[in-house]
Structure 1
Amino acid sequence: MDKIIFGDNQFFGVNHMSEETAIKQAQKFRTAEDIYKILEYVNDIGIKSFMFTTHNQLEPVFEMMKQNSKFDDFKLYPSMPYAHKYADAMVELGIFEAINKFTPGNKIMAGIKGAGSLITANPVPIMQLLVDSEMKLLKGMNVQGIFLLNIVTDLLLGLEMYDILYEFSKYTEEKYNVKAGFFTMNYVKLHDVLVNKLGLVDPIIVSDIDKIGFRMNPSQAEVENTLKKNDSYNIAMSFLASGAIKPEEAVEYIGSLEGSVKSVLFGASSPSHIKDTKELLETVL
């Protein structure tokens, strides 16, 4: 994987420190053209990886990218499921009809009665169907990995349904010939499950890693100690702590971890901030 990966939070008004900043960012990206222009700039300055949620608003952006050959080597890392899309559908349609909406024509629903049975009786085929549904958006594009968002990863950790994490990893490799990655809000717990309980080799983990310990769970010290084991591919997100840390200090901290952070995922809404952050990261990665 590339050492510098561009993210999509700014496109959809996500900022974990400031709601005001989030709203301002979202206002800058009201159209697909607004998002496309930033990705075009990102590609032009040499950032060749984009990690994103499977948000409906990105569909026209990808259609534009498909028409431009200079995106042919631009690496895509979809992160799923986009929870709001499914939550809205379940509120509007109910759990059965929501799954039918996103996986039309499947036969898994037959014979399953009740939401509890749906989740516990046959979770793996449903997971596979939903992955396939999300991947239709990216048909013919340069997908290099498929990531499970923390809302599901951490739920499965809490329920001790570790086999679903394994099956997700196995399915992405067998069906799409790419490695799976996992977002988490508890790096230490997920690392233990993936490496020690499931035996995955060099699993890809995306988690908060930053100088002030912002959302580093269960603690900054425990995360740092686990990072030192160097038996997972660690991607730092929120390394600026949503703007709470000066970029120079944030980058210095990443460098102090002595190579245990392999890649950094970041988002920014202006070309100057994107370029400055890229150049700073290149000094330590």
Structure 2
Amino acid sequence: MMDKVIFGDNQFFGVNHMSEQTSIKQAQRFRTADDIYRTLEYVNDIGIKSFMFTTHNQLEPVFEKMKKNPKFDDFKLYPSMPYAHKYAAALVDLGPFEMLSKFTPGNKFLSGLKGVGSLVSANPIPIMQLLVDSEMKLLKGMNVQGIFLLNIVTDLLIGLGMHDILNEFVKYAKEKYNVKAGFFTMNHVKLHDVLVNELKMEEPIIISNINKIGFRMNPNKFEVEKALAQENSYNIAMSFLASGAIKPKLASEYVGSLKGVNSVLFGASTPNHILETKELLEAVL
């Protein structure tokens, strides 16, 4: 369904869940769009053909460069949305109605009316659709192969019992963009239960923390491994290196030994680390 090895974007924005020093170094390494673009060029050149990313403003000029380079025509893109900080800042600065007007594409009056109507009727589905459209506008004409909902929203919807919106997200991605939809989560077992047993989705795509030391694996490592072993969802392991706490060889051997891990999402800052991780993963997956 998807490539076994997928490159991620955490390092571009100084995200490291174990070390603040590493976060600072990464942020300094990728200060400009050119810094990020050169890394993605290298990733593409060595044969990693999938990139999963948050819809961060800093990536806009990077995508403009990619659009002009035919080498990226077969480079698969997997946007993950919504980028919460962008919307939170706009909400504070502009208020809910102006925020919708700012981010919704097309006719602002009609888009705004649809959004306001949704707020009044307490129906969040039209707003979800508008915001997906807004994020996808950035990637027009590019090789988008899937759309992913970030865990900040996925897990909130599960906590609120609003499971129907997860279903609507999958349907909208398929009907509007003809792509698969997937979900990030901080609780693999709970999401798996909702998608497979309650919503009856066929092989839903789940991205969660999966690593040898159980770092951020919720509710616990054993329960996650048990859910994976059912092999009725498409599972993508993230944080498989536990933010650098596990050596790449050991980390790769662990995910390769598990039933039910279909792909691995990883980020790295230097060409040597990117190539080493790619080769280790390809040897075990």
Normalising by structure 1, we get a TM-score of: 0.96
Distance apart, 1:97 and its partner CA: 1.6
Distance apart, 1:11 and its partner CA: 0.3
Q: Which runs of 5+ in 1 are unaligned?
A: none
The alignment status of 1:226 with 2:227, answered yes or no, reads yes
Report the Cα distance in structure 1 between the residues aligned to 2:95 and 2:137, rounded to whole angstroms: 23
State the partner residue of 1:262: 262
Report the Cα distance in structure 2 between the residues aligned to 1:123 and 1:111, rounded to whole angstroms: 10
Counterpart code for 2:136: M
Report the Cα distance in structure 1 between the residues aligned to 2:199 and 2:97, rounded to whole angstroms: 31
State the partner residue of 1:132: 133
SS of corresponding position for 2:246: coil
The alignment status of 1:40 with 2:41, answered yes or no, reads yes
State the partner residue of 1:22: 23
Between the two proteins, the alignment pairs up a number of residues equal to 279
Pair 65,201 (structure 1): closer, same or farther in 2 beyond 3 Å:
same
Report the Cα distance in structure 1 between the residues aligned to 2:23 and 2:39, rounded to whole angstroms: 17
State the partner residue of 1:7: 8
SS of corresponding position for 1:166: helix
State the partner residue of 1:282: 282
Distance apart, 1:110 and its partner CA: 4.5
Report the Cα distance in structure 1 between the residues aligned to 2:116 and 2:89, rounded to whole angstroms: 23
Report the Cα distance in structure 1 between the residues aligned to 2:267 and 2:83, rounded to whole angstroms: 18
SS of corresponding position for 1:190: helix
Report the Cα distance in structure 1 between the residues aligned to 2:186 and 2:168, rounded to whole angstroms: 21
Report the Cα distance in structure 2 between the residues aligned to 1:130 and 1:111, rounded to whole angstroms: 15
State the partner residue of 2:79: 78
State the partner residue of 1:161: 162
Normalising by structure 2, we get a TM-score of: 0.96
Distance apart, 1:96 and its partner CA: 2.1
Preserved contact between residue 154 and residue 166 of structure 2 (Cα < 8 Å) = yes
Of 91-100 and 145-154, the range deviating more from structure 2: 91-100
SS of corresponding position for 1:181: strand
State the partner residue of 1:180: 181
Preserved contact between residue 97 and residue 116 of structure 2 (Cα < 8 Å) = no
Distance apart, 1:56 and its partner CA: 0.6
Distance apart, 1:121 and its partner CA: 1.5
Preserved contact between residue 184 and residue 208 of structure 2 (Cα < 8 Å) = yes
Counterpart code for 1:212: I
Report the Cα distance in structure 2 between the residues aligned to 1:36 and 1:194, rounded to whole angstroms: 36
Distance apart, 1:95 and its partner CA: 2.0
State the partner residue of 1:95: 96
| Identical columns (%) | 76
Report the Cα distance in structure 2 between the residues aligned to 1:6 and 1:222, rounded to whole angstroms: 26
SS of corresponding position for 1:202: coil
SS of corresponding position for 2:138: helix
Preserved contact between residue 115 and residue 127 of structure 2 (Cα < 8 Å) = no
RMSD after superposition: 1.1
State the partner residue of 2:171: 170
The alignment status of 1:67 with 2:65, answered yes or no, reads no
State the partner residue of 1:108: 114
Preserved contact between residue 115 and residue 126 of structure 2 (Cα < 8 Å) = no
Distance apart, 1:109 and its partner CA: 4.0
State the partner residue of 1:272: 272
Counterpart code for 1:73: D
SS of corresponding position for 1:191: helix
SS of corresponding position for 2:283: coil
Q: Which runs of 5+ in 2 are unaligned?
A: none
Preserved contact between residue 235 and residue 263 of structure 2 (Cα < 8 Å) = yes
